[in-house]
Amino acid sequence: MQATIHSTGDEGGQALLDDGSLIDWDLASVAGSGLRHLRVGQRVSVELDDEDRRARRMWIVGIGAGQVIS
């Protein structure tokens, strides 16, 4: 699934899913992704927690270990 970064801060922020839902994300969700900074409007791939309310993991295809741009 993909989302657009809606807000960022020192500890995380919010992202907007394609269905219009806002989810929260924190720094743990991008740990190990190879991302250093996220900006408002940036598209990311996202894996949600079991309740679909928070990002468990976020990444950009082509950035990070094992990610190939095709």
Domain ranges for the chain:
2-59
Q: Are 56 and 47 in contact (CB under 8 A)?
A: yes
Class of domain 2-59: mainly beta
Which sign does the torsion angle of CA 53, 64, 45, 25 carry?
positive
Instruction: Quote the pTM value.
Output: 0.82
| pLDDT in the model for residue 22 | 96
State the DSSP string of the chain: -EEEEEEE-SSEEEEEETTS-EEEEEGGGTTTSS-----TT-EEEEEE-TTSSBEEEEE-TTSSTT----
Per-residue pLDDT tens over the stretch 17-51: 999 999 999 999 988 887 778 999 999 999 999 88
